[in-house]
Protein backbone atom coordinates (compact mmCIF):
# COMPACT_ATOMS: atom_id res chain seq x y z
CA UNK A 1 0.00 0.00 0.00
CA UNK A 2 1.32 3.44 -0.96
CA UNK A 3 1.54 5.97 1.87
CA UNK A 4 0.37 9.54 1.10
CA UNK A 5 2.93 12.32 0.77
CA UNK A 6 4.00 13.99 4.00
CA UNK A 7 4.00 17.65 5.00
CA UNK A 8 7.40 18.43 3.40
CA UNK A 9 6.28 17.10 0.00
CA UNK A 10 2.91 18.88 0.37
CA UNK A 11 4.84 22.12 0.91
CA UNK A 12 6.74 21.51 -2.35
CA UNK A 13 3.43 21.03 -4.19
CA UNK A 14 2.03 24.21 -2.63
CA UNK A 15 5.15 26.13 -3.69
CA UNK A 16 4.88 24.78 -7.25
CA UNK A 17 1.20 25.76 -7.31
CA UNK A 18 2.19 29.27 -6.18
CA UNK A 19 4.89 29.37 -8.88
CA UNK A 20 2.34 28.77 -11.66
CA UNK A 21 -0.15 31.28 -10.23
CA UNK A 22 2.64 33.89 -10.10
CA UNK A 23 3.61 32.99 -13.69
CA UNK A 24 -0.02 33.53 -14.76
CA UNK A 25 0.02 36.94 -13.05
CA UNK A 26 2.98 37.92 -15.23
CA UNK A 27 1.32 36.61 -18.38
CA UNK A 28 -2.04 38.30 -17.78
CA UNK A 29 -0.61 41.35 -15.99
CA UNK A 30 -3.10 41.04 -13.16
CA UNK A 31 -3.35 39.59 -9.69
CA UNK A 32 -5.08 36.28 -8.93
CA UNK A 33 -6.40 35.27 -5.55
CA UNK A 34 -4.59 32.46 -3.83
CA UNK A 35 -6.87 29.46 -3.50
CA UNK A 36 -6.77 26.74 -0.86
CA UNK A 37 -4.69 23.72 -1.83
CA UNK A 38 -6.01 20.51 -0.30
CA UNK A 39 -4.54 17.02 -0.27
CA UNK A 40 -7.81 15.15 0.16
CA UNK A 41 -8.52 13.72 -3.28
CA UNK A 42 -8.92 9.96 -3.55
CA UNK A 43 -9.36 7.47 -6.35
CA UNK A 44 -7.85 7.58 -9.85
CA UNK A 45 -7.71 11.37 -10.18
CA UNK A 46 -4.37 13.07 -9.45
CA UNK A 47 -5.74 16.62 -9.23
CA UNK A 48 -8.90 18.69 -9.48
CA UNK A 49 -9.81 22.37 -9.67
CA UNK A 50 -13.19 22.80 -8.01
CA UNK A 51 -15.70 25.63 -7.70
CA UNK A 52 -18.26 25.46 -4.89
CA UNK A 53 -20.44 28.55 -5.04
CA UNK A 54 -17.97 31.46 -4.85
CA UNK A 55 -15.28 29.29 -3.29
CA UNK A 56 -12.49 27.96 -5.51
CA UNK A 57 -9.91 25.37 -4.54
CA UNK A 58 -7.36 22.95 -5.92
CA UNK A 59 -7.34 19.37 -4.67
CA UNK A 60 -4.52 16.87 -5.08
CA UNK A 61 -4.38 13.13 -4.48
CA UNK A 62 -1.59 12.56 -1.92
CA UNK A 63 -1.31 8.83 -2.75
CA UNK A 64 -0.82 9.36 -6.50
CA UNK A 65 1.62 12.17 -5.75
CA UNK A 66 3.53 9.79 -3.46
CA UNK A 67 3.81 7.18 -6.18
CA UNK A 68 4.65 9.60 -9.02
CA UNK A 69 5.85 12.77 -7.31
CA UNK A 70 8.02 14.29 -10.06
CA UNK A 71 5.51 13.52 -12.82
CA UNK A 72 2.73 15.19 -10.85
CA UNK A 73 4.81 18.27 -10.02
CA UNK A 74 5.58 18.57 -13.73
CA UNK A 75 2.14 17.75 -15.16
CA UNK A 76 -0.71 17.80 -12.62
CA UNK A 77 0.14 21.04 -10.81
CA UNK A 78 0.23 23.26 -13.95
CA UNK A 79 -2.83 21.39 -15.28
CA UNK A 80 -4.96 22.35 -12.26
CA UNK A 81 -3.57 25.88 -11.99
CA UNK A 82 -4.40 26.39 -15.69
CA UNK A 83 -8.01 25.37 -14.97
CA UNK A 84 -8.14 27.91 -12.16
CA UNK A 85 -6.66 30.75 -14.23
CA UNK A 86 -8.89 30.07 -17.25
CA UNK A 87 -11.90 30.05 -14.91
CA UNK A 88 -10.87 33.47 -13.57
CA UNK A 89 -9.96 35.09 -16.89
CA UNK A 90 -12.73 33.94 -19.21
CA UNK A 91 -16.49 34.22 -18.70
CA UNK A 92 -18.25 31.06 -17.63
CA UNK A 93 -19.17 28.60 -20.34
CA UNK A 94 -17.22 30.53 -22.99
CA UNK A 95 -14.36 28.03 -22.93
CA UNK A 96 -14.15 24.26 -22.78
CA UNK A 97 -12.35 22.72 -19.78
CA UNK A 98 -9.46 21.53 -21.98
CA UNK A 99 -10.11 24.01 -24.79
CA UNK A 100 -7.89 26.44 -26.66
CA UNK A 101 -7.47 28.92 -23.77
CA UNK A 102 -6.43 26.15 -21.39
CA UNK A 103 -4.06 24.61 -23.97
CA UNK A 104 -2.48 27.99 -24.68
CA UNK A 105 -1.87 28.57 -20.98
CA UNK A 106 -0.37 25.10 -20.60
CA UNK A 107 1.98 25.94 -23.47
CA UNK A 108 2.96 29.19 -21.70
CA UNK A 109 3.66 27.13 -18.59
CA UNK A 110 5.82 24.81 -20.70
CA UNK A 111 3.66 21.87 -19.59
CA UNK A 112 2.16 18.92 -21.44
CA UNK A 113 -1.47 19.59 -22.36
CA UNK A 114 -2.40 15.91 -22.09
CA UNK A 115 -5.53 15.53 -20.00
CA UNK A 116 -5.06 12.06 -18.54
CA UNK A 117 -2.28 9.76 -17.54
CA UNK A 118 -2.03 6.00 -17.83
CA UNK A 119 0.18 5.00 -14.91
CA UNK A 120 -0.04 1.95 -12.70
CA UNK A 121 -2.06 2.81 -9.58
CA UNK A 122 -1.40 -0.45 -7.76
CA UNK A 123 -1.25 0.32 -4.04
CA UNK A 124 -3.20 3.58 -4.38
CA UNK A 125 -6.51 3.46 -2.47
CA UNK A 126 -9.44 3.42 -4.86
CA UNK A 127 -12.99 4.49 -4.23
CA UNK A 128 -15.53 1.87 -5.12
CA UNK A 129 -18.99 2.72 -6.28
CA UNK A 130 -21.99 0.47 -6.38
CA UNK A 131 -22.94 -0.55 -9.91
CA UNK A 132 -26.35 -1.00 -11.47
CA UNK A 133 -27.27 -3.58 -14.13
CA UNK A 134 -28.20 -2.29 -17.58
CA UNK A 135 -28.97 -4.36 -20.67
CA UNK A 136 -28.44 -3.25 -24.27
CA UNK A 137 -29.64 -6.20 -26.34
CA UNK A 138 -26.36 -8.06 -26.54
CA UNK A 139 -24.94 -8.00 -23.00
CA UNK A 140 -25.25 -6.80 -19.43
CA UNK A 141 -23.32 -3.70 -18.30
CA UNK A 142 -22.29 -2.52 -14.84
CA UNK A 143 -23.14 1.19 -14.76
CA UNK A 144 -21.79 3.34 -11.90
CA UNK A 145 -24.15 4.98 -9.43
CA UNK A 146 -23.21 8.39 -10.82
CA UNK A 147 -24.18 7.41 -14.37
CA UNK A 148 -27.24 5.51 -13.15
CA UNK A 149 -28.45 8.68 -11.39
CA UNK A 150 -27.95 10.69 -14.59
CA UNK A 151 -30.07 8.19 -16.51
CA UNK A 152 -32.79 8.24 -13.85
CA UNK A 153 -32.85 12.05 -13.94
CA UNK A 154 -33.15 11.86 -17.76
CA UNK A 155 -29.97 13.91 -18.24
CA UNK A 156 -27.95 11.23 -20.06
CA UNK A 157 -28.38 8.10 -22.12
CA UNK A 158 -25.74 5.44 -22.66
CA UNK A 159 -25.28 3.16 -25.66
CA UNK A 160 -23.37 -0.10 -26.02
CA UNK A 161 -20.14 0.19 -28.00
CA UNK A 162 -20.65 -3.30 -29.45
CA UNK A 163 -24.27 -3.24 -30.70
CA UNK A 164 -25.01 0.50 -30.29
CA UNK A 165 -28.21 -0.36 -28.43
CA UNK A 166 -29.56 1.94 -25.73
CA UNK A 167 -28.73 0.72 -22.23
CA UNK A 168 -31.89 -0.01 -20.23
CA UNK A 169 -31.97 -0.39 -16.46
CA UNK A 170 -32.57 -4.04 -15.55
CA UNK A 171 -32.74 -4.21 -11.73
CA UNK A 172 -33.19 -8.00 -11.50
CA UNK A 173 -30.03 -8.84 -13.51
CA UNK A 174 -26.47 -9.32 -12.31
CA UNK A 175 -24.21 -6.83 -14.14
CA UNK A 176 -21.13 -7.73 -16.18
CA UNK A 177 -17.76 -6.64 -14.85
CA UNK A 178 -16.54 -4.18 -17.51
CA UNK A 179 -19.12 -2.09 -19.36
CA UNK A 180 -18.38 -0.82 -22.85
CA UNK A 181 -20.71 2.03 -23.59
CA UNK A 182 -20.72 5.56 -24.91
CA UNK A 183 -22.59 8.67 -23.76
CA UNK A 184 -25.31 10.66 -25.47
CA UNK A 185 -26.82 13.77 -23.92
CA UNK A 186 -30.57 14.01 -23.68
What per-residue confidence (pLDDT) applies to 42?
87
Averaged over 160-180, what is the pLDDT?
Answer: 76
For 58, 74, 82, the CA distances from 109, given in Å and listed in that order, are 17, 10, 9
Averaged over 95-109, what is the pLDDT?
Answer: 93
What per-residue confidence (pLDDT) applies to 121?
79
Higher-pLDDT residue of 179 and 132 is 132
What percent of the chain is predicted at pLDDT more than 70? 91
Per DSSP, helices labelled H in the chain are: 7-28, 62-67, 69-74, 76-89, 100-109, 145-152
Q: Domains of the chain by range and CATH?
A: 7-109 (3.30.2010), 131-185 (no CATH)
Q: Is 153 left (phi over 0), alpha (psi -120 to 50) or beta?
A: alpha
Q: What is the mean pLDDT of the chain?
A: 88
Is pLDDT of 72 > 80?
Answer: yes
> What predicted TM-score, i.e. pTM, was given to this entire model?
0.71
Ranking 19-23, 66-70, 139-143 by mean pLDDT, the lowest is 139-143
Amino acid sequence: MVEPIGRAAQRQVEMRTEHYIARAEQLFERRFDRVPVLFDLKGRTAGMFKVIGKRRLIRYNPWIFAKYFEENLRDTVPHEVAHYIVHEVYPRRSTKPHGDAWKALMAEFGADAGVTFDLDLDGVPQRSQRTHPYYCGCQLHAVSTTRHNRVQARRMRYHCCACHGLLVYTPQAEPALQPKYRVSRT
